Amino acid sequence: MAPFIPEEKIAEIKDACNIVDVVGETVLLKKAGKNYLGLCPFHAEKTPSFTVSPDKQMFYCFGCGEGGNVFSFLMKQQGTSFPETVKLLAERTGVALPEQRQTPEQKRRLSEREAILDLNDLTVGLYQKTLQRDPRGQAARDYLSKRGFRPEVIEAYRIGFAPAGWDNLARYFERRGVPLDVAYKAGLVAPRRQGQGYYDRFRERIIFPIANHRGKVIAFGGRVLDDALPKYLNSPETEVYRKSHSLYGLDIAQAHCRAAELVYIVEGYFDAIALYQNGIRNAVGTLGTALTNHHVRMLRGYIGQTGRAILVFDSDDAGIKAAHRSIEIFAREFVDARILVLPPGHDPDTFMTKFGPEAFIEKAQKAKGIMPFLIDAAIERHGTSMEGRIKTLGDVAEPMAAFEDPVARSVYIKYLSERVDIDEAAILEKIRQMAPISASGSPQGQSGRPGAIPTMPPKISGGSRLERQLVAMMLQYPDILPEIRKQNVVALINDPALRMIGQEILGERDPGSQHNEYSKEVSPDDVRSIKANLSVQDENWEYNGCLGLIKQFIASKSHHAKDDLEEQIRQAENDNDFNRVAQLLREKNDRAVKYDKLKMEIQKRSN
Ligand SMILES: [Zn+2]
């Protein structure tokens, strides 16, 4: 504990605030017996395991093990230091802290964050005043009124104006004795390229302050009045502003998101404000970045477990792009997300001006989930020819693989199967390929997905994934067949149907010949349909990758064989059959030698 805050002050603050209220500001809590329960802000989860106890004034998450008191909660959630957190809570509870003796570093960090927030506050006031009363703000006033911004909305969002000129703000700070290096750290001014001093970052722009959930201004966005470029300019990241953690309008929207268990996520400042003006107050804007898991988790804290996020776009292309980028995050955080694309030529503002907010809400209620949206968009783009359907499958297999929830995934597979008339088994197989096998043989996500696809819907074709992959490779990449023959790989395939297909490919069996060997286990129809499924998967085979797959396959077989042998050895030992034990041990050794040789051979060729 930091030495400069007396123990009794800490206790006093703890007594004065209720952890349920503090946590409840950002996490939707529901009463459950003596405690409160919500979705954990520190890990992704579908059912609440985050518990807050008002009696003990503690929180604990049964999912990730995170726990502590009100201080540790805020420190963990906001990334603040202990002294900062104490100060924050002292202010909220009205507990007066004594003059503090701090280390210079503590002082610097604490005062830097505070100084930036204070400066932002000062700046908002100045920009607002300029917009509302200054003659230099006339053009901006005209612009905003032409775009239909009502005064109370301008007030609510604290919109302002930075007039033309290089150093209005810098000189304003100087007059007030504000050190300009702090203004620089706040991202409000930048050092001149030549000579000394600083110039204003925002010049002749309408200013949209960006606040955190408590309403503290952490950054600014500025828009030009004409067609000059860049159209939008934002604050750089600072000690208090991280893009990936911030959403425009969150301070205004949070209570409404909570009440509606719904959040609209729009693209920009104007969109968020347009929704607000039309009475839809649960809207936040992304700040020119893709949605991050921080954003989604933050919003989930307001909309709760059964809540919904609707992403609003003004074009199909933007919607598709964002859907691809964010589907994994929503899937991982278990948030029900929908995509609403407005008709061509419309943004939320023009749409509601023309059709009214009711039409917007109605459209939102009918918005498709991300996955159906992507499927429909791919079909629209590629058509329903055979090639088109295969392309569609190629487009949507990866996003579909993002769903680890087997129920969600099987629902989407069914939907896609019906839409493109491709067998569910083939779709599933394609999705499984999206989680390529790593060297250790465990599935691994392509884009760092944590341990993708642990649970699978019921097996449709027999054999292990590796076996199916092997046969798919044989079907699609004949270059590898000599190697397959040489290593006698097909004989190692366990699944009778897959082994049969393998033999057919190698010409060791006539296609359609009598399947007398396996006739009880496999029907010719099964073989045909499995073969068809394995043939549709398009994977970019290349020689070394194929050798790797063969190696992995042999290794897995040798593993199984080893386990099997070891079991037999144990059995023989139990039976006191020492001749058998000796024979089995020899066999084990022979296999190990043979396998090592094989491994080396393949290794040599792939180098
Ligand atoms: Zn947790």
Determine the Cα–Cα distance for residues 114 and 84; give it in Å rounded to an integer: 9
Determine the Cα–Cα distance for residues 435 and 110; give it in Å rounded to an integer: 45
Instruction: Name the token pair of 384.
Output: 């329903």
Q: What is the pLDDT of residue 440?
A: 31
Distance (Å) from CA 416 to ligand 1 centroid: 34
Distance (Å) from CA 50 to ligand 1 centroid: 6
- 153: three-class secondary structure by DSSP: helix
Distance (Å) from CA 229 to ligand 1 centroid: 44
Determine the Cα–Cα distance for residues 314 and 348; give it in Å rounded to an integer: 8
Distance (Å) from CA 155 to ligand 1 centroid: 38
Partner residues linked to 162 by β-bridges:
205
Q: Which residues lie near ion ligand 1 (Cβ < 5 Å)?
A: 40, 42-43, 61, 63-64
Beta strand spans in 470-558 (E): none
Distance (Å) from CA 65 to ligand 1 centroid: 6
Distance (Å) from CA 47 to ligand 1 centroid: 11
Q: What is the pLDDT of residue 376?
A: 94
Residue ranges of the chain whose pLDDT lies below 70: 1-4, 99-103, 106-107, 109-110, 435-462, 510-525, 536-540, 595, 598-599, 601-607
Distance (Å) from CA 280 to ligand 1 centroid: 32
Distance (Å) from CA 332 to ligand 1 centroid: 14
Q: What is the pLDDT of residue 607?
A: 52
* Of 335, 337, 355, nearest in space to 345 by CA: 355
Residue 293 to residues 150, 290, 446, 474, 519, Cα–Cα distance (Å)? 34, 10, 17, 40, 52
Distance (Å) from CA 60 to ligand 1 centroid: 8
Distance (Å) from CA 44 to ligand 1 centroid: 7
Q: In which residue are the tokens 């042998």 written? A: 565
Q: In which residue are the tokens 């491709």 written? A: 422
* Of 383, 376, 457, nearest in space to 415 by CA: 376
Distance (Å) from CA 306 to ligand 1 centroid: 18
Q: Determine how many CB atoms are found less than 10 A away from the CB of residue 543.
A: 13
Distance (Å) from CA 20 to ligand 1 centroid: 16
CB 502 within 8 A of CB 469: no
Distance (Å) from CA 176 to ligand 1 centroid: 46
Distance (Å) from CA 303 to ligand 1 centroid: 17
Distance (Å) from CA 336 to ligand 1 centroid: 19
Distance (Å) from CA 477 to ligand 1 centroid: 46
Distance (Å) from CA 67 to ligand 1 centroid: 8
Distance (Å) from CA 48 to ligand 1 centroid: 9
Distance (Å) from CA 387 to ligand 1 centroid: 45
Distance (Å) from CA 291 to ligand 1 centroid: 21
DSSP H or E run through 476: helix 465-476
Q: In which residue are the tokens 């907010």 written? A: 357
Distance (Å) from CA 298 to ligand 1 centroid: 13
Distance (Å) from CA 337 to ligand 1 centroid: 22
Distance (Å) from CA 61 to ligand 1 centroid: 5
- pTM, 2 dp: 0.66
Q: What is the pLDDT of residue 282?
A: 96
Distance (Å) from CA 81 to ligand 1 centroid: 21
573 Cβ contact list (under 8 Å, min separation 6): 581
Q: Which residues in 500-516 are b (16+ Cβ under 10 Å) and which e?
A: bbbbbbeeebeeeeebe
Partner residues linked to 277 by β-bridges:
none
Distance (Å) from CA 209 to ligand 1 centroid: 32
Distance (Å) from CA 355 to ligand 1 centroid: 43
* Of 409, 293, 270, 224, nearest in space to 43 by CA: 293
Q: What does residue 345 show for φ and ψ, rounded to 5 degrees?
A: 85, 0
Distance (Å) from CA 453 to ligand 1 centroid: 21
Distance (Å) from CA 29 to ligand 1 centroid: 14
* Of 85, 48, 84, 46, nearest in space to 68 by CA: 85
Distance (Å) from CA 168 to ligand 1 centroid: 47
Distance (Å) from CA 246 to ligand 1 centroid: 21
Distance (Å) from CA 371 to ligand 1 centroid: 27
Sign of the torsion angle spanned by Cα atoms 208, 109, 26, 303 = positive
Q: What is the pLDDT of residue 458?
A: 27
Distance (Å) from CA 242 to ligand 1 centroid: 22
For 246, which DSSP code? Answer: -
Distance (Å) from CA 110 to ligand 1 centroid: 28
Count each helix (H run) and each strand (E run) in the chain, helices first.
Answer: 25, 16
